[in-house]
Amino acid sequence: MVKKALHFALFLAIISTLAGGALAFVNGLTAPIIAENAIAAEKANLQIIFPTATSFAPMEVKDDESGLIKAAYTAQGVGIAYKVEVLGYAAPIKFLIGFADDGKIVGLSILELKDTQGIGTRVNSAEFIDGVVGKTTSDGIATLSGATVTSGAVVKGINAAKAHFNALKGIEGGTGGVVTPPLQFGASIGIFSKNAGTVVSKSVDGDVVTFIADGNGYRVLEGYDGAKANVFEIKINTATKKVVSVKFVEMNDTKGIGDKIDAEEFWAQFIGLDITNQDSSIDVVSGATFTSESVVRALRAAIED
């Protein structure tokens, strides 16, 4: 009985060994085919980034703390491309970013993008791509004014790929981070050119009156469900008839767009503004016109209170 058991155990061991060998053999045959199929699906995009490359091979990605890198490919003797997925304003964004072996960014190809047409989709235009290609993996990359959420997400993904590439190549100096573009201004609007908002409350401290006032912004004017006006704190010196300061209390327009106006350069326009001058005006922030106008509505409400 013991002898039969030993024979059976030996038989099973032999079968397992043969099966394992066969599986390894099959894997050895299919692995290159699977790898080739994976490359074939991306080859057209990879070729755009590395037009002189003659062959591509998938590369294992280790130590990606961001979790944003989904795949990587080596372009033989040219560089490395990373497939990255980030969350944009409305949906995931997928793209390929290519680095030459010396650390220069040589290509950016957006594969999937469903963010707002004309706003988020600007990351798939020369306006953004030209600001990426040509930089190095140690340079900072600027987001797009008016499309901060989408472009910021893409820059975050690019920086994840840069960090992995730099660690792999031993490049020091960091990834350069995210560069905030300078605020861009558009047309001027008169302080008395828009309908007044509503004064919510006010308090007096000597000659300075502090108003909490609201003004309809983009979401209210466009009829969004549940939309609320933007709210501001406005200080006016009643002796000099000039604005002391203006700032946000509550921003209810689209994040990443309306809140662009929350910048020192914008608020500085109001300081010292003569509230008795019918020609007083300020410049709106490009890409945030309606939110800029909501400040004017609130200020007019304070002036006329």
Residues sharing a CB contact under 8 Å with residue 292, sequence separation 6 or more, in sequence order: 189, 261, 266, 282, 284, 285
| Residue with token string 């980030």 | 86
What is the per-residue pLDDT for 162?
97
Q: What is the 3-state secondary structure (H, E, C) of 46-64?
A: HHHHCCCCCCEEECCCCCC
pTM: 0.65
What is the per-residue pLDDT for 87?
95
**pLDDT tens digits for 69-100?**
999 999 988 999 999 999 998 899 999 999 99
Kindly compute the dihedral angle of the four CA atoms of residues 241, 242, 245, 250, in this order, to the nearest 10 degrees.
60
Helix spans in the chain (H): 2-49, 126-129, 148-169, 218-221, 264-267, 289-304
Residues sharing a CB contact under 8 Å with residue 262, sequence separation 6 or more, in sequence order: 248, 251
**Contact indicator for 75, 178 with CB cutoff of 8 Å:** no
What is the per-residue pLDDT for 173?
87
**What residues in the chain have per-residue pLDDT under 70?**
1-39
The Cα 40–Cα 25 span in angstroms is 23
What is the per-residue pLDDT for 74?
96
- Across the beta sheet with 230-237, the strand order is 198-205, 208-215, 230-237, 242-250
What is the per-residue pLDDT for 11?
60
What is the per-residue pLDDT for 13?
60
**pLDDT tens digits for 15-25?**
666 655 555 55
Pairing type for strands 178-179 and 92-100 reads unpaired
What is the per-residue pLDDT for 256?
79
The Cα 199–Cα 301 span in angstroms is 6
